[in-house]
Amino acid sequence: MSGPGEGGTEPTVDARVVRTRNDILRTALQVLVEQGWDAVTHAHLAEQAGYSRATVYKHWATRTDLLRDALARVGDVPHHTPTGDLRADLIAELTVFRLAIEAERLDRAMAVLVALTAAAPELIDVRDTLVTNGERVLRALLRPVAGDLLEAAMLMLSGSVLYAAQMHGRPPTDDVIASTVDMTLRGLAASGTS
């Protein structure tokens, strides 16, 4: 962050507003993944984040507004910086995804986002932004591949981590991630595109 309040001086009003919004949105996301969607109310968030209800209502008129902004933060997922070793880079990027799932329950946040799109189609934009950001490094690493093969590789690599976390209740181990990457690379090599 590079708000106008940095550098030792008192934060400006703008910086305080940013901080307040960040505090509440961070709390909203945490409540969402730990206590579920029903717990994301203005009153509960005010109490948990240490602000007045009026403040929460001032920034977000409805629960859907709150959810949209909180889930938009999920898009700030960390990424691995590629080194040029394709196998190591793919494993590292999937491992960063796993760590975000373990540390922030990204898998649950994504499930809530998908579940809510039924009632709130405006959240589809939030999902699309999250997916674009989330897949960026993986797509760049796989760049020589294209078409259905790229799509299949993307779905298999990203899907394996998310599916394990959501449906088996635990993301894949280091060894399973390595097997996933090795099978994908062998599959691509055998098809003559890698």
Q: Which stretch binds its own copies (CB under 8 A): 43-51, 53-61, 74-82, 173-181?
A: 173-181
Taking the least distance from each CB to its own copies, the nearer of 33 and 56 is 33
* 73-80 contact pairs (CB < 8 A, 24+): 73/25, 73/26, 73/29, 74/29, 74/106, 74/109, 74/110, 74/113, 74/130, 75/126, 75/129, 75/130, 75/133, 75/134, 76/133, 77/106, 77/130, 77/133, 77/134, 79/136, 79/137, 80/137
Q: Residue count at the site for its own copies (CB under 8 A)? A: 61
144 lies in the binding site for its own copies (CB under 8 A): no
Among 82, 96, 131, 133, binds its own copies (CB under 8 A): 131
Q: In the bound complex, what is the minimum distance in angstroms from residue 128's beta carbon to its own copies?
A: 8
Taking the least distance from each CB to its own copies, the nearer of 5 and 75 is 75
CA distances from 49 to 22, 23, 40, 62, 142 (A): 10, 7, 12, 17, 41
Among 45, 56, 89, 158, binds its own copies (CB under 8 A): 158
Binding interface with its own copies (CB under 8 A): 32-39, 105, 107-108, 110-112, 114-120, 124, 127-128, 131, 148-149, 151-153, 155-164, 166-169, 172-173, 175-176, 178-180, 182-191
